[in-house]
A = this chain, B = another copy of it.
């Protein structure tokens, strides 16, 4: 860590800082600059005593961390790209083959789900998505079919052969959801619900971790660290848009996360343009961009009749729209060197 002292402090105040740095387990190196004295502190910043507490002293101007706080998810920990094997079919996310996860926002009925599942499978999707437990801003909105929805997803898997991704909302449901699903999705609103991350990790199933609405990249990587440090290496990051001042789109999809996650981490990166845009008419362009920039997979909402969807209809593609998208993506998948 770097501790910057205020100018014109007394020798005594400086000595007190040096003493405290040593007491907290760091070795201080003093550098006297043109205007300020700076103390480089050698030690492991990732402990709970990371010196930022010194910012409470009046003679300290600021404390600047140097180390990256994440370890196991970092590119330094694992030079190659990790791949995640999904389901008994061993669909590989993060490998040469580009994957598409598609399906309805919410599972609403067996008919709705089966129709969508068969259609997306036919169009080329390789993983089926569908929400059985829905985190809704209002308690008066549809909260999902629960276990009944999970059973429908399991049936759709049997019929189509597509492994299933679905959201985990509650620690109490971790075991149950893991029984039915091939990937546990942690939603944006729970991205720093660390107890849920730990519960998901412990099931051993692959975990897809969405970025929180106002999560910095480092915080996202550290949330992923909760999964890997609980002995589950099967982690995927998923960008789904961050909250900004812009109101034209529901969120601002931050596609720069693709090269950034590839640079900082070995884990796969998935893009969710449906949540990112919140508008189906923007989804197609965003899928093209994500593919070109090197995403490992897409997560796309598809519904047989978006106008009557029980959640987030405005952002779901129709079945025809999805099939057309899959066609249009082909040259971009090829240009990105994927299959």
Which of B33, B138, B242 touches A46 (beta carbons < 8 Å)? B138
A335 within 8 A of B: yes
Cα-based distance from A69 to B313 in the complex (angstroms): 18
A331 within 8 A of B: yes
Q: Is A53 within 8 A of B313, CB to CB?
A: yes
Q: How far is the CB of A275 from chain B (nearest CB, A)?
A: 12
In this complex, what residue of B is CB-closest to A191? B189
Interface string of A39-77 (1 = CB under 8 A from B): 010111011110011111110000110110111000010
Q: Is A213 within 8 A of B214, CB to CB?
A: yes
Q: Is B225 within 8 A of A139, CB to CB?
A: yes
In this complex, what residue of B is CB-closest to A278? B55
Task: Find chain B residues with CB under 8 A from A308 CB.
Answer: 20, 23-24, 49, 53
Interface stretch of the complex, out of A91-99, A109-117, A158-166, A244-252: A244-252
In this complex, what residue of B is CB-closest to A40? B31
Which of B2, B46, B260, B291 touches A66 (beta carbons < 8 Å)? B2
Q: How far is the CB of A112 from chain B (nearest CB, A)?
A: 14
Interface stretch of the complex, out of A81-89, A124-132, A192-200: A192-200
**Chain A interfacial positions (CB closer than 8 Å to B):** 2, 4, 7, 20, 23-24, 29, 31-36, 38, 40, 42-44, 46-49, 52-58, 63-64, 66-67, 69-71, 76, 135-142, 169-172, 189-190, 192-196, 213-214, 216-219, 222-223, 225-226, 229, 242-249, 252-256, 258-260, 263, 276-277, 279-282, 284-286, 288-294, 306-316, 318, 331-332, 334-336
